[in-house]
Structure 1
Amino acid sequence: MKLNLTTGIIPSLNVAAGLLGYFLVKTYTQVLQKLGWLKQPFTRQENTMFIQTCVVASAGIAFSGGFGSYLFGMSKTIAQESAEAITSENIKNPGLGWMIGFLFCVSFLGLCSVIAIREGLV
């Protein structure tokens, strides 16, 4: 969040997160194989499909969800630091439940708009 506030970018760190995720899942599956609970190996294709897709989606939600920019810029603390008068119209203290709902809406609005664009409806 600090990097986004100072520079305006969010690095997705795909390679680092992919390698770390692959190492953790590979270790986990090896333990399961030694216990006899897992019969199929964990492949590179599964790493790409599951772990890296999750990393890219998380970075996209962090960027489009406004972390480090407008989401926390609505809070009373930021309003107190600015020269503007604090009224109920210009502040919104985002709580955890509100942020989860907001990010849910942002994520699915983006998904629905991509489907509409792909189908040529827009």
Structure 2
Amino acid sequence: MSDDRGIDPAVPPSGAGCAECEAGGGWWFHLRRCAACGHVGCCDSSPGQHATAHFRASGHPVVQSYEPGEDWFWDYAADRLRESGPALAPPVSHPEDQPSPGPAGRVPADWARSLRG
């Protein structure tokens, strides 16, 4: 990635799950990590769409997937995928034993019907 503005590789993630879903008892489909401040939010397919809400509130344009085995970045401001970028502070994903959707115990049985397109 040639333009690393808005990315701070030294900042650790805010936690193992979506900060707002955790606080409000919600659930998520997949997770995204803000590359500027480490905020972990849920993806746009999730009911809360907290990663995009964080971008809108903070102006932090770049997130990285917070899913095990994924290292791509998304730039909200440019509305484009960024396939690579600097290595961010660990951990680089939620725990591998944490299910997706998650967290365990809060995902409704009919969760797929709640996904946003």
- TM-score of Structure 1 vs Structure 2, range by shorter chain: under 0.3
Which of these two proteins has the greater Rg computed from alpha carbons?
1
- For normalisation by structure 2, the TM-score amounts to 0.24
Q: Which has the higher contact order (CA 8 A, sep 6+)?
A: 2
Greater fraction strand: 2
Q: Name the TM-score, length of structure 1 as normaliser.
A: 0.23
Higher helix share: 1
